[in-house]
Amino acid sequence: MLPTVPYEQLNILEPNGSTPLHAAAYIGHMVIVHLLSHQSGCYGQKRNRHGYDGYEEAKPNDIRHMFHRPSVRNRFFDDDGNNDIQQLIVMD
């Protein structure tokens, strides 16, 4: 069912004031959090009506770890030893 739901609907605040990702994180549904955040690309920083994002709503620490991105020192550059500055061009 998840692939048929439009991206915008996955990130909309429901009448209860939370997104599906907030609810799954709060309840501790690890598989659902993974599907929503990693496969469907749900926006994890969206705040619910209480002002919490998905990470802050997560009760178990194992769910919170799913929201962490790896901290890489130069994540926008290749680690080839070349210190040249590269320009990133973003096209609309």
Report field, pTM of the whole predicted structure over 0.75: no
- 63 and 26 Cβ atoms separated by less than 8 Å: no
CATH number at residue 56: 1.25.40.20
85: in domain: no
Q: Which residues fall within 8 angstroms of residue 11, CB to CB, at 6 or more apart?
A: 19, 21, 42, 43, 46
73: in domain: no
37: in domain: yes
Mean pLDDT of the chain, nearest integer: 77
* Residue whose entry in the numeric block shows the structure tokens 């194992």: 62
Please, which pLDDT band fits residue 48 given cuts at 50, 70 and 90?
Answer: very high
9: in domain: yes
Distance (Å, whole) CA 74 – CA 46: 26
45: in domain: yes
Domain holding 61, by residue range, is 2-67
82: in domain: no
- Would you state the pLDDT for residue 91? 57
The per-residue pLDDT for range 14-37, each reduced to its tens digit, is 999 999 899 999 999 999 888 888
Number of structural domains (the chain) is 1
Taking 90 as the threshold, does the pLDDT of residue 51 lie above it? yes
21: in domain: yes
